[in-house]
Structure 1
């Protein structure tokens, strides 16, 4: 891991994303590319002039001053950069930036809304579109353990899903080694409240567990433990993560073909929407 793009929080907020990125950079030797966004729609109206148009220069100057203070507070790795970005749309800017610059990971503080669940619109657009892993960080009140959980797709008969599972496992192992955390996996088989043929279900579940174990083995990742659960995936996967107080959950992004190829599957969306810890989305 050599280059990490950090989308900074606004000055009045806690810099959670920066702190996560700094921890990772200190262990990996990666360079940080800090981006602080500022924009005022009124400054883009061409018919306005004078003091109104000075708003852009004033806002950028104030943000640069804050960015200088931030760099005095946090020691950035050698070769890191910090820029003020005047842009109205973070996801479109990020896609354009990634097209022209080598980046291994994007880190951003999640616009998490625990009362209603899910993420803000900017986060969802980044989740759906970024071609590199996205780390969305949250601040939680409970103590996190040095444990990373990879949520595996049980549709292992599909080679695309198997490949996505293996990418998630490999990234989880890489992050685990850098952060001193153990890697675990969780796979949930959707099940209704009432199973007609319990013996047949147990037999099929047992065969699926063996297949998932083989997927993990083929990935080459060292997985400390595999949690195999049944029920509603969004609830069961997050229950495993919460019960073990994991610091992070990895979720693979959908692998649909055609115009919907970049969309998350419904299950992945529900898992992310109910997550209470940091999440990393693996494309």
Structure 2
């Protein structure tokens, strides 16, 4: 099963063939379009005129031609049945990518990222985070060191969207999309799939501190009920995905669910490390229909802490603050 038909692949200067294969693996086999792009930073306006300016402009033009030749070389590896477009764009990378997504209605952006060794940001650097915050379509950021088949995939779902989304229905729809995409990838890669939810016990801290009177046995029962509710919703998500997709993965023992108590910003990266996760599929939540409300603090904290590839989805109705004009 292939889900995407109009993919934008941001080609880096040293992208390997497995990264291209990864992008193609998510595309429809017939009637799909793969656009290969490279972005050259625009020459600074107001640069001095004269010989230096002319030499600088010539150097930029030479770079554009070199990038286009590289794109054509990459395009040679695209199989028949997929239309291929090559384009070199000028400007700030994340801005130009998002504008093209809006103008040409791309349904997936794929890019590879370099690992950043700083402890504050283990993988994603500023350009990547801008894309994660503002790109309106699904975004697959591949860790360059492991762009082949994924051995372990995690779908991170959130049942507590009421304060972030206009409707609970949009939140449930996003969870469905997260699980379905993770299932498709795990099925075709023959990988393990872990579907995880981190739940909280509302008011637990105040109850433990005595601000809200609650007997210990009642608090334990209350926490158990919260966990049971989360577990039931997670089971329903998996069952609904099996009904929609009917893939071999559901008949295997490679799907495992995880219900973890705590805060998602801490527990999801910890669980990913424990499981040796290669790809996390998750939502980046912003208020639907309100440009400027971009990415939830929890999601951004998670993305700053993980050390694997990520497939990030926005809810239906998300509006990017980047204007396509």
TM range (shorter): 0.7 to 0.9
Q: CA deviation at 1:140?
A: 4.8
What does residue 191 of structure 2 align with?
Answer: 181
Match of 2:172 among 154, 162, 171: 162
Equivalent pair of 2:9/2:23 in contact (CA under 8 Å): no
* Partner residue in 1 for 2:35: 33
Q: Are the aligned partners of 2:90 and 2:96 in contact in 1 as well (CA < 8 Å)?
A: no
Structure 1 residue 200 corresponds to structure 2 residue 203: no
Change in Cα spacing, 1:127 to 1:213, as seen in structure 2 (3 Å) is same
How far the C-alpha of 1:46 sits from its partner, in A, is 6.4
Rounded Cα–Cα distance in structure 1 between residues aligned with 2:140 and 2:42: 27
In structure 2, the residue corresponding to 1:41 is in which secondary structure?
Answer: coil
Larger radius of gyration: 2
Residue 323 of structure 2 is matched in structure 1 by none
Indicate which of 269, 281, 285 corresponds to 1:238: 269
Aligned equivalent of 1:250: 281
The question of whether the paired residues in 2 share the 8 Å contact of 1:4 and 1:32 is answered with yes
Structure 2: gaps (5+ residues)? 163-167, 209-218, 315-325
Give unpaired runs (5+ residues) of structure 1: none
Asked whether the equivalents of residues 238 and 275 of structure 1 are also in contact (C-alpha less than 8 Å), the reply is yes
Deviates more, 1:271-280 or 1:188-197: 188-197
TM-score normalised by the chain length of structure 2? 0.73
**CA distance change for structure 1 residues 266 and 56 in 2, over 3 Å: closer, same or farther?**
same
For residues 215 and 239 of structure 1, what CA distance do their matches in structure 2 show? 23
Distance between the aligned counterparts of 1:274 and 1:229, measured in 2?
Answer: 18
Q: Tell me, in whole angstroms, the C-alpha distance in 1 between the residues paired with 2:134 and 2:309.
A: 19
Question: Following the alignment from structure 2 to structure 1, what is the Cα–Cα distance between the partners of residues 181 and 292?
Answer: 21
Matches of 2:51 and 2:174, distance apart in 1: 54
Displacement of 1:116 in angstroms is 2.9
Q: Distance in 1 between matches of 2:37 and 2:161?
A: 38
What is the deviation of 1:257? Answer: 4.1
| Cα deviation, residue 201, structure 1 | 0.5
Correspondence 1:27-106 to 2 at 5 A: 28=27, 29=29, 30-42=32-44, 44-45=45-46, 48-69=49-70, 71-72=72-73, 75-78=77-80, 79-87=83-91, 89-106=92-109
- Partners of 2:141 and 2:310 lie apart in 1 by 5
**What is the alpha-carbon root mean square deviation over aligned residues?**
3.0
For the Cα contact (< 8 Å) 1:195–1:201, is it kept in 2? no
